[in-house]
Amino acid sequence: MRQFQQKLFCSVPEWVASGTRTLARIGNNQLHYQVGKGRIAPDRGSCRRWILSVPSSPSSHHERDGIQCGSQVLRGPTLHDLAHFRSILSRPDRSIITTLTDEASQRQLSSDSRAEELVRYNQDWTGEYRGSSSLVLRPTNTSEVSSILRYCHENFIGVVPQGGNTGLCGGATPLHDEVIISLEGMNTIYGIDGQSGILTCDAGAILENLHSFANERGYLFPLDIGAKGSCQIGGNVSTNAGGQYFFRFGGLHGTVMGLEVVLPDGRVMHLNMENVDDYGTIQQSKRIASHRKDNTGYDLKHLFIGAEGTIGMITKVSIACPALPTSKNVSLLVCDSYCNVLTVLKTAKEELGEIMSAFELMDYNTLSFVFAHGFGGNESGSRLLHDLLQSESSIQEPERLRPLYLLVETQGSNSVDDASKMDTFLTRLLDSETIINGFLAQDERQLKEMWTIRESCNPCVAQAGCVYKFDVSIPIEDYMEVAWEVKKELSVSMKDVDLIACVWGHVNDGNAHINIVTPGRFKKESAIDKNIEAAVFDSVLKRSGSISAEHGLGQKKNEALGRIKGENVLDVMAQIKGLFDPHGIMNPGKYLPKKT
């Protein structure tokens, strides 16, 4: 104790000891750390700032989980911080949800219901990850985000940016008691430029609302994923979400034109999005100032696409939208082998060419779960599923003999031409016996039901048992092989565990969602998890694939990054993190591997 006091000189006005923690109060800032484990030293850059540092042995949970930058200890929010946040937010009663008990929070709700409300933010939707944050902030504009981050930066408070909380890798779930900054209060859509088709909105705008906004104005929002009803565009950009339109309309690195980003120290950067103020008002001219081309300086926006909130927070997004295709056709096809799937793909490229907008695969196991658990009484959809599964009379063994299902969609500008292309495509497939059955949507309802089947894969498989999820990129010719190989290996190494491998995904991108289910067992078991992960990663890496195609790293795969990236690459990544976030407050313990 004495040793630390000496290092703090005499400018520390008071010490308060509480349990194993010691709180230091410097001006208005509180610092705390575990007694006897750490060191506190003045920040060389500022006479007002203090840096707490700790020896390499584990002392606080944050350090245990490895903060990559510097050796500072982060802390959770205190009552004092809460008071500060109340003073900087324009409508604190709506913007703050906390289990910290001060007068104002007691007035709002009982502590039980506040704790209940926090669960929604502390837990991811799969239920796999759970944090223990005591404070959620829901800022309403960029300057509030900036004030919050600046304060957290100065006070070494860990921060977890959160969108719709639909991620699959726990990237938006706190590891411990970080402050959650939810962008759900920032959901304004500012407009879409009539000439360029560039749409500008707040990062908290929900994807489905962007779809309808763009559609009503004759544009197509170029990102579509299963979670569109609740996910937010800021989260989509931060995780570089892919989805079924990736192949046709390109990824977010291509469609995002501009970003507004708040850096951890509170500075706001406008990246190809000038003249937009905090409230989205476009100044100087009435045009939204994102350009399709901008070759001035380092293109920093790309660093934030897929950075999972580790170097800053995205607060506004502008995205280029193509004109809304007026004609849409969807067919569901049944193949009896993966070899035929490849022929269908080749034929689709030849016959459908530029109008093909989706080429999605689902395997037999997946569709059986959709049939068993899905469709909430929708008779017509169940009937279609029934007919699809009946296409092959009995379940074949081994699994590679079971049928595979494809959803092929076209989007174009001329319904007569598109229908005729689809017709030629399907005729060729039937004549050559590449498909054993298939359905072509005759109206909009059938079309939507076909997509509902595809979008039900994830939730329906999750209802069957605990799902060990993998999102990988592999060579197209090995698309199914990886799952089969993993299944075969696991049936030897873990023969007492009942496992079912379900595969679906975007064949054309080589992006497979491999889901290993333990039917009836709903609890994730770490031994099983480890075995499956090792088998999947080995099989993928053996083929020079990517272990995360579109879901990101979060807290699930950050450690694996160390295995697959070279030392130089990891070093530069760590340097970038340190440059933007010197105190390591942004989404701590995720994305990058722990420092060894």
Partner 1 sequence: MKILVPIKRVIDYAIKIRVDPTKGAQGVQLSNVKMSMNPFCEIAIEEAIRLKEKTTAEVVAVSIGPKQCTETLRTALAMGADRGIHIETKADVRGDYIDMQPWGIATLLKGVVEREGGVDLVLLGKQSIDSDCGQTGTLLAGLLNAPQATFASKVDRGDDGSFTVERETDSGTEVIKLKPSAMPAIITCDLRLNTPRYPTMPNIMKAKKKPVQTISLEDMVKELGLNLDEVLTPKNEVIEVYEPPPRKEGEMVGDVMELLAKLKEKGLVA
Indicate whether 435 belongs to the interface with partner 1 (CB under 8 A).
Answer: yes
Which of positions 263-322 make contact with partner 1 (CB under 8 A)? none
536 alpha carbon, distance to own chain's centre: 21
Whichever of 346 and 445 has its CB closer to partner 1, that residue is: 445
Structure tokens belonging to residue 522 = 């709903």
CA angle 171, 290, 591 (to 5 degrees): 15
> What is the DSSP code string of 330-372?
EEEEEESSHHHHHHHHHHHHHHTGGGEEEEEEEEHHHHHHHHH
Closest CB 207 distance from partner 1, rounded Å? 19
Closest CB 166 distance from partner 1, rounded Å? 21
Collapsing DSSP to helix, strand or coil, 222 comes out as coil
Which of the stretches 143-151, 160-168, 429-437, 469-477 binds partner 1 when contact is defined by CB under 8 A?
429-437
Closest CB 380 distance from partner 1, rounded Å? 5
Nearest to 314 by CA among 416, 224, 418, 237: 237
Indicate whether 428 belongs to the interface with partner 1 (CB under 8 A).
Answer: no
Residue from 116, 350, 354, 387 touching partner 1 (CB under 8 A): that is: 387
- Per-residue contact string for residues 98-127; x = within reach of partner 1 by CB under 8 A: ----------x-------------------
Whichever of 135 and 262 has its CB closer to partner 1, that residue is: 135
Whichever of 98 and 272 has its CB closer to partner 1, that residue is: 98
Indicate whether 71 belongs to the interface with partner 1 (CB under 8 A).
Answer: no
CA angle 415, 421, 422 (to 5 degrees): 85
Residue from 1, 20, 48, 93 touching partner 1 (CB under 8 A): that is: 93
Indicate whether 452 belongs to the interface with partner 1 (CB under 8 A).
Answer: no
Closest CB 191 distance from partner 1, rounded Å? 16
Which of the stretches 61-69, 303-311, 399-407, 419-427 binds partner 1 when contact is defined by CB under 8 A?
419-427
Structure tokens belonging to residue 346 = 């080749």
Please state the φ and ψ torsions of residue 447, each to the nearest 5 degrees.
Answer: -60, -45
For tokens 């905090």, what's the residue?
278
Indicate whether 437 belongs to the interface with partner 1 (CB under 8 A).
Answer: yes
- Is the CB of residue 43 less than 8 Å from the CB of residue 52? no
For residue 520, the cross-strand partners are: none
Indicate whether 141 belongs to the interface with partner 1 (CB under 8 A).
Answer: no
206 alpha carbon, distance to own chain's centre: 14
Indicate whether 438 belongs to the interface with partner 1 (CB under 8 A).
Answer: yes
Structure tokens belonging to residue 110 = 């009982």
Whichever of 59 and 327 has its CB closer to partner 1, that residue is: 327
Nearest to 313 by CA among 262, 276, 241: 262
Residue from 182, 239, 331, 340 touching partner 1 (CB under 8 A): that is: 331
Indicate whether 439 belongs to the interface with partner 1 (CB under 8 A).
Answer: yes
Separation of alpha carbons 94 and 113, rounded Å: 15
Closest CB 387 distance from partner 1, rounded Å? 7
# chain residues binding partner 1, by CB under 8 A: 31
Whichever of 219 and 580 has its CB closer to partner 1, that residue is: 219
Collapsing DSSP to helix, strand or coil, 174 comes out as coil
- Is the CB of residue 506 less than 8 Å from the CB of residue 406? no
Closest CB 457 distance from partner 1, rounded Å? 19
Query: What burial letters (b/e) apply to 270-291, b meaning 16+ CB within 10 Å?
Result: bbbbbebebebebeeeeebbbe
Whichever of 46 and 390 has its CB closer to partner 1, that residue is: 390
Residue from 445, 530, 594, 595 touching partner 1 (CB under 8 A): that is: 445
Whichever of 123 and 437 has its CB closer to partner 1, that residue is: 437
Indicate whether 403 belongs to the interface with partner 1 (CB under 8 A).
Answer: no
Indicate whether 97 belongs to the interface with partner 1 (CB under 8 A).
Answer: no
CA dist list (Å): 426 to 423, 465, 504: 5, 37, 22
Which of positions 245-264 make contact with partner 1 (CB under 8 A)? none
Strand blocks (E) in 132-251: 135-137, 159-162, 179-182, 189-192, 198-202
Indicate whether 326 belongs to the interface with partner 1 (CB under 8 A).
Answer: yes
Q: Name the residue type at position 293.
A: K
Indicate whether 417 belongs to the interface with partner 1 (CB under 8 A).
Answer: no
Separation of alpha carbons 127 and 125, rounded Å: 5
Which residues in this chain contact partner 1 in the complex, by CB under 8 A? 91, 93-94, 108, 326-327, 331, 333, 379-380, 383-384, 387, 415, 419, 426-427, 429-430, 435, 437-446, 448
